[in-house]
Amino acid sequence: MLLMPEKTTDDKQGERIAKVMARAGLASRRQAEAWITAGRVAVNGAVISSPALNVTTSDRIVVDGQPLRARERTRLFRYHKPRGLVTTNADPEGRPTIFGALPKDLPRLISVGRLDINTEGLLLLTNDGGLARVLELPATGWLRRYRVRALGRVMQPALDKLRAGITVEGVRYGPVEATLDREQGANVWLTVGIREGKNREVRKVLETLDLKVNRLIRVAFGPFELGELDEGAVEEIKSEGLRAELGEAIVSKAGADFDAPLIVHDAPPRRPRPVDEPFVSVPEDEDGKSTQGHKPKRPPRRDRRGGPRPKYPRPRE
């Protein structure tokens, strides 16, 4: 295997290769660095072993034998994550993932941060790894708001003390904005705002007040809100207003590109219909997308008396 000697940032103008790969939407920067270390990336015909390399547009980058695709327009999506899905591409325990549940005609997307398996609500997805990295940094300071149902009782003065921050099991958490909304049976409903988004932060902080979180819904991430987005639905944030929502500081730091071409990703082709399989026509949906499918016609189910099988079981005589 031919290896390319490592170069420092002074050897060549350009950008770090992991950053270029991330901005192309191929992987997050951390994933790209891992792929490079594993020998999956070549530059100008030579396999590289370290991400400490700058590249320019004149360099030819190949990943797993395939040329790095041209950079496409930066895109950002709102996704209403249901409970029961993990925020990862592949789970070693075999649990279902958000990426397995997304429509197949979307570009390759990266999550902006994570929501754990039992947390639902707003999750931002983007095809630009550079943007994802900037948005999930605590230094960006965006407020993450949650609706929280928790078992227990608490008064507002105790919640107000969380604004000073708190240390839990040696981990320091920044200011937490918490408001008591109402009581419901043995539970309370709260609105909680945090800016760091550390692992299980809301749950751990509220445990110090003897509150056991049993439902956690993220309703906002910075200027983007969950709104009326249905559970499991994904919706693109239009580019026209996206730059303004992000702010020029974030756009510049992330290197987001709203002028690059928009690449349409088609859904995988349908399986061919067997010759002897009847054709069933299905009308188009409200968006004008074809929902035609090929389903074999099945004979109606019959009961033992020879008549059509009732929709609901007959009561016993």
Catalytic residue among 10, 59, 91, 116: 116
Question: What DSSP character marks residue 142?
Answer: -
Token pair 């009782």 in the structure block, residue: 153
Burial class (CB in 10 A: 0-12, 13-18, 19+), 40: middle
**DSSP, res 269:** P
- Beta carbons within 8 Å of 255's beta carbon, 6+ residues apart: 19, 23, 130
d(CA 26, CA 31) in angstroms, rounded, equals 9
Which residues, other chains included, contact 104 with Cβ-Cβ below 8 Å and sequence gap of 6+?
Answer: 267, 268
Contacts of 214 (CB under 8 A, 6+ apart): 149, 150, 151, 187
287 belongs to the catalytic site: no
Q: 79 forms bridges with which residues in the sheet?
A: 123, 234
Backbone Cα Rg of the chain: 25
Q: CB within 8 A of 315, min separation 6: which ones?
A: none
DSSP letter, residue 300: P
Residue 45 neighbours by CB distance under 10 Å: 9
Per-residue tokens: 17: 């290769």
Gap between the Cα atoms of 248 and 256, Å rounded: 10
Residue 301, token pair as written in the block: 């189910």
Please list the active-site residues: 116
